[in-house]
Chains A and B, each alone.
Chain A
Amino acid sequence: AQKVTQAQTEISVVEKEDVTLDCVYETRDTTYYLFWYKQPPSGELVFLIRRNSFDEQNEISGRYSWNFQKSTSSFNFTITASQVVDSAVYFCALSEETGANNLFFGTGTRLTVIP
């Protein structure tokens, strides 16, 4: 069965600090997809990244970067030089090829960036 674990329930950092959000997943499928979504206080879910299981190349997008390691079943997310606008709940999610593309979410990490 699939499972996504975000062990960090809440994190607080001071503005301009770097922060890494951890995500560990479990799946029996060999083909799967990993995602990060951001949920700001306004409530919407904002898509950040999708990574397939065959692409372990790390990705950088502006201040965001993602580290995918199949050996440890982890897909961690780092925000560099955090800003107040980064304050949100961040969800890691998994979809399996056999699962009709449905998303299984972790429990989320609430990030608070203090000015």
Chain B
Amino acid sequence: AAGVIQSPRHLIKEKRETATLKCYPIPRHDTVYWYQQGPGQDPQFLISFYEKMQSDKGSIPDRFSAQQFSDYHSELNMSSLELGDSALYFCASSTFYNEQFFGPGTRLTVL
């Protein structure tokens, strides 16, 4: 069965650089969620989209933005990166209000 695809799987950036993470949901899933998991922490909700519209916003810094495109894939854009942004970033997808299935994550390291 098709799963959520995230790219890249690993990313290394310098402070103050920008990064773009991509997420391709499971086919026919209309909702995408982004979560950030710091080292030894639980995942924290960042933002979600339903049918290409933002549906909810969590603890996402103003330096981050995201959108969902017409083909339902989503991108998380991160600017002015800080050391504290180093984390595992998960994308999850679902059909409306059903269980979320997570991608493998993108591990971002900011040096």
Residue ranges of A at the interface with B (Cβ–Cβ < 8 Å): 35, 37, 43-47, 50, 91, 97, 99-108
In the complex, residue of chain A having the shortest beta-carbon distance to the beta carbon of B41: A107
- B64 near A: Cβ within 8 Å? no
Given A100-B48, A101-B31, A101-B48, check contact A35 B99 (CB 8 Å).
yes
How many residue pairs between the two chains, A and B, have CB atoms under 8 Å in the bound complex?
58
Q: Is B45 touching A103 in the complex (CB atoms < 8 A)? A: yes
Residues of chain A with a CB closer than 8 A to B90's CB = 45
- Centre residue among B35, B45, B48, B98 by max chain A CB count within 10 A: B45
- B86 near A: Cβ within 8 Å? no
CA distance A108 to B43 in the complex (A): 10
- B72 near A: Cβ within 8 Å? no
Residues of chain A with a CB closer than 8 A to B100's CB = 47, 101, 103
Q: Is A100 touching B105 in the complex (CB atoms < 8 A)? A: no
CA distance A103 to B107 in the complex (A): 20
CA distance A28 to B41 in the complex (A): 25
Residue ranges of B at the interface with A (Cβ–Cβ < 8 Å): 31, 33, 35, 41-45, 48, 50, 55-56, 58, 88, 90, 92, 94, 96-105, 107
Residues of chain B with a CB closer than 8 A to A107's CB = 41-42
What's the minimum C-beta distance from A22 to chain B, rounded to whole angstroms?
15
Pairs A-B, 3 closest by C-beta atoms: A100-B56, A105-B42, A45-B102
What's the minimum C-beta distance from B94 to chain A, rounded to whole angstroms?
7
Residues of chain B with a CB closer than 8 A to A37's CB = 102
What's the minimum C-beta distance from B4 to chain A, rounded to whole angstroms?
10
